[in-house]
Amino acid sequence: MDFQEVLEERLRLTKEVLSAKEKEYASIKSRYHNFDMAARKRGTSPEDALMGMAVKHDVSIDDLVEWVDLCPGRLTIPLIREKIGDKINYLILLEGMLINRVEAFLLEQIVASEGKFATGGLVKDLEIEPSSVISVEHYSQEFAKHCRSKSAQK
């Protein structure tokens, strides 16, 4: 099977599985309901709860790689597709959760109806004039730069 066929099948399966799992796991309010509830029970963030649950998928993939040499007869194409797909689906869910966090943060900063931000609050630490009004894109870039510099200082 060539790479393009693998890619097309992966995309098809990802859409199929995520659609089916939405009916099983998501609530009316949130696609991320189970992660939200796990986070509350464990006193952590939904993203951290997802990462904890994803460890099971990491271990399954590690097993597949180990089996290549130790017991290749245990490997099947459906098993490989399932285990790799589980991890991909969790990463897609994490991507959505993280994007929602960024959007929620940015939404809190919106003060103008044209999608502009007035600087202030957390923005005071950014390299932007305090009285300026900036675009979402510029704000995101400056905020990311600020976070990287704060991380480097730790």
pLDDT tens for residues 54-86? 999 999 999 999 999 999 999 999 999 999 999
Q: Which residue has the tokens 């006193």?
A: 43
Residue 90 has a pLDDT of 97
Q: Count structural domains, the chain.
A: 2
Residue 101 has a pLDDT of 87
Which range, of 9-13, 25-29, 120-124, averages the lowest pLDDT?
120-124
Pairwise CA distance, residues 62 & 60, whole Å: 5
Q: Do 67 and 23 belong together in one domain?
A: yes
- For the chain, percent of residues with pLDDT exceeding 90: 53
Q: Do 19 and 84 belong together in one domain?
A: yes
Q: Which residue has the tokens 């990287």?
A: 148
Mean pLDDT computed over every residue of the chain: 82
Q: Do 31 and 99 belong together in one domain?
A: yes
Residue 135's domain spans which residues? Answer: 113-153
Q: Do 64 and 128 belong together in one domain?
A: no
DSSP 87: H
Q: How confident is the model at residue 112 (pLDDT cuts 50, 70, 90)?
A: very low
Q: Do 121 and 57 belong together in one domain?
A: no
Pairwise CA distance, residues 80 & 120, whole Å: 50
Q: Do 132 and 100 belong together in one domain?
A: no
Check pLDDT > 50 for residue 51: yes
Residue 27 has a pLDDT of 66
The residue ranking higher by pLDDT, 122 or 55, is 55
- Amino acid of residue 16: E
Secondary structure (3-state) at 73: helix
